[in-house]
A and B are shown apart, each in its own frame.
Chain A
Amino acid sequence: MDLQGISREKKELAAAACMLLFIISLFLKWQTFGVLSGSGADLGSWWLVVLIALAAGGIMAADALGMEIPLRRIAPSAVATYLMTLLVFYSVVFILAIDGIAYGVWLALVFSVVGLVLAYSLYRQDTR
């Protein structure tokens, strides 16, 4: 897929939307064992992941809307890209760790990877 034909603002808003969808996927079914099931928010530190997704999505949305982001030495797209890498890591760690994987964790992986690809394409654009 050619990402160069998509405008910067559209990419940023799409990445921000991916972060929102990632947060929603945390509350969906991540694991099933018999009649029981668990979500991505069952781990006590789920709020840390929500904060990271909010920060990454917030940076992307703020840049798309032309708001000033208080980052001087590092490009906002670099920060967002890094934060989304952590979310991909989070999804992969749980996919590899849990038995009875359910659809929620796959959605989390898809949204974090799509967000990362979009943010990384912006980062490449910024550092050229």
Chain B
Amino acid sequence: MSRFGALERLESLGAVLGGLWCGALFLPWFRPDGVDVALTGAGLIDSAWLPLVIVAVASVLLLVDAVSPDGLGSLPVPGISTFLMPIGLFYTALFLLADDHLRYGAWTALGLSAAAVLFAGLAWITDRRG
């Protein structure tokens, strides 16, 4: 019998969306007036790797918990990921609200991070480990 129940589906969706957010960091987020090249989310500040690592860890944990036969044991993965995933949304919102010259990458990142937070949160509610 397949172990892929509601929790695993929610975890997988959260993991994929979190992973896509990491990719969206490398899309064009801004193009200020008079500049030919757009800035990516990762190129905005030198420490963009920090939210990238945090969201990547949350996504990998969710994915491993979803696909491994026994999950990650007693580790409350959805709870940990629900704690970590909003960091990506916060980072996106910080820069989205800071500038007017937005490009599609910033909106894509906003949608992906909000959806990743939603599915991680739903997995946390579904999970019985706490």
Residues on A facing B (Cβ under 8 Å): 43-45, 48-49, 82, 85-86, 89-90, 92-98
Chain B residues packing against A (C-beta within 8 Å) = 45-47, 50-51, 83, 86-87, 90-91, 93-99
A43-B98 contact, Cβ under 8 Å, with A93-B45, A97-B45: yes
A43-B98, A44-B99, A45-B97 known; A97+B90 contact, CB < 8 A: no
A60 to chain B, nearest CB (A): 19
Cα-based distance from A43 to B45 in the complex (angstroms)? 12
CA A19 to CA B96, docked complex, whole Å: 24
Chain A residue at minimum C-beta to C-beta distance from B100: A44
Interface majority SS (helix, strand, loop, mixed), chain A: helix
Q: Which among B50, B86, B97 is the interface contact of A48 at CB below 8 angstroms?
A: B97
Please give the distance in Å from A117's CB to the nearest CB on chain B. 17
- List B contacts of A97 (CB < 8 A): 45-47
Q: Known contacts A43-B98, A45-B93: does B46 contact A96 (CB below 8 Å)?
A: yes
- State in angstroms the CA–CA spacing of A44 and B51 once bound together: 19
Chain B's closest residue to A52 (CB) is: B90
Q: Which of B46, B51, B94 contacts A45 (CB 8 A)?
A: B94
Q: Knowing that A48-B93, A49-B94, A85-B83 are A-B contacts, what are 13 other residue pairs whose CB atoms are under 8 Å apart, sorted by A's residue number? A: A44-B97, A44-B98, A45-B94, A45-B98, A48-B97, A82-B83, A86-B87, A89-B90, A90-B90, A93-B47, A94-B47, A97-B45, A97-B47
Closest chain B CB from A121 CB (angstroms): 17
* CB nearest to A73 among chain B residues: B125
A95, B98: Cα distance in complex, Å = 18
Contacts of B86 in A (CB 8 A): 86
Q: How far is the CB of B103 from chain A (nearest CB, A)?
A: 16
A93 touches B51 (CB 8 A): yes
Point out the residues of chain B lying under 8 angstroms from A85, CB to CB: 83
Which residues of chain B have C-beta atoms less than 8 A from A90's C-beta?
A: 90, 94
